[in-house]
């Protein structure tokens, strides 16, 4: 999967519906909130990759995914 495809997939998966307890009406996140969640997830992946000394190719891949998310 290319970094661009992975970025789109993460954004789609982060775009979830929340049902708060009060009125039960669905609440959708806006685009900037979805992007922020995806970027947080990628930052966490990069931290773990650095901690475990993953290959530079993997770190580069996730950095490219982050850049693609920021572009969208």
Model confidence over 12-56: pLDDT tens digits?
888 876 666 666 666 777 889 899 999 999 999 999 887 777 687
Q: What is the number of domains present in the chain?
A: 1
Classify 27 as helix, strand or coil.
strand
Question: DSSP strand E in the chain: where?
Answer: 17-18, 27-28
**Burial class for 10, CB neighbours closer than 10 Å (0-12, 13-18, 19+):** buried
pLDDT of residue 17: 65
- Rounded to whole angstroms, how far apart are CA atoms 8 and 47? 21
Domain residue limits at 14: 3-71
Collapsing DSSP to helix, strand or coil, 71 comes out as helix
Q: Confirm whether pTM is higher than 0.75.
A: yes
Distances (CA, A) of 41 to 2, 21, 62, 66, 70: 17, 26, 10, 10, 13
* Model confidence band, residue 71 (pLDDT cutoffs 50, 70, 90): very high
């Amino acid at each position: 999967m290319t970094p661009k495809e992975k970025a789109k997939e993460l954004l789609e998966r982060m775009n979830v519906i929340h049902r708060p307890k009060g009125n039960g009406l669905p609440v959708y996140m806006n685009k900037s909130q979805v992007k922020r969640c995806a970027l947080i997830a990628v930052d966490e992946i990069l931290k773990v990759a650095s901690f475990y000394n993953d290959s530079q190719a993997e770190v580069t891949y996730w950095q490219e995914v982050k850049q693609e998310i920021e572009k969208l």
